[in-house]
Amino acid sequence: MIAVDTNVLIGAMQTFDPELRNTARQALKKLHRQDEQLLCFPQNLIEFWNVSTRAIEANGLGLSTEQAARCIDHFQTLLRLLPSTPAFFPTWRHLVLRHGVVGIQVHDARLVAAMQIYQVKKLLTFDPDDFKRYDEIVAIHPQSLA
């Protein structure tokens, strides 16, 4: 099982950096061909919606709501969506206190908490350095799968 970070989903759908798009898509295809179970959480799809529907000038993808919805529908055919559980908040709280998480880094801690609840040890992400503090998981850069 491997969780897919939002930045990989965004990378796979953006059009302004063909190399990034190709890297994201090739990594996902390779893992799928290897019968790796690809996972995501509601947080990933919500974050994707945020970035994908934001204007390009504001670091978004500039998609319409209809286009963003089609992307999310597509992701749900490739990725298993795991729901939030009541254990989520206490797990997240433990992580942020244990690792001294502050500011925007709380989003990464949310993802790690969800992974812990479902015993997912691997994360595909373009930002593996953001997850170094979490010895509970292994962050894998899509380029390493090329």
* Residue spans per domain, the chain: 2-83+121-141
pTM of the model: 0.94
Q: Specify the length of the chain in residues.
A: 146
Burial grade of 109 (CB within 10 A; 0-12, 13-18, 19 or more): buried
Does the pLDDT at position 146 exceed 80?
no
Q: Average pLDDT, stretch 4-18?
A: 94
Provide the percentage of residues in the chain whose pLDDT is more than 90.
94
Residue entry with tokens 């942020």: 96
In the sheet where 122-124 sits, what is the strand order?
Answer: 80-81, 38-40, 2-4, 122-124, 138-140
Single-letter code of the amino acid located at 117? I
pLDDT digits (tens, 9 = 90+) for 86-98: 999 999 999 999 9
Q: Average pLDDT, stretch 101-120?
A: 95
Q: What pLDDT does 69 receive?
A: 97
Does the pLDDT at position 13 exceed 90?
yes
User: Is 2-83+121-141 a CATH 3.40.640.10 domain?
Assistant: no
H-type alpha helices, 38-120? 42-53, 65-78, 88-99, 106-117
Does the pLDDT at position 52 exceed 90?
yes
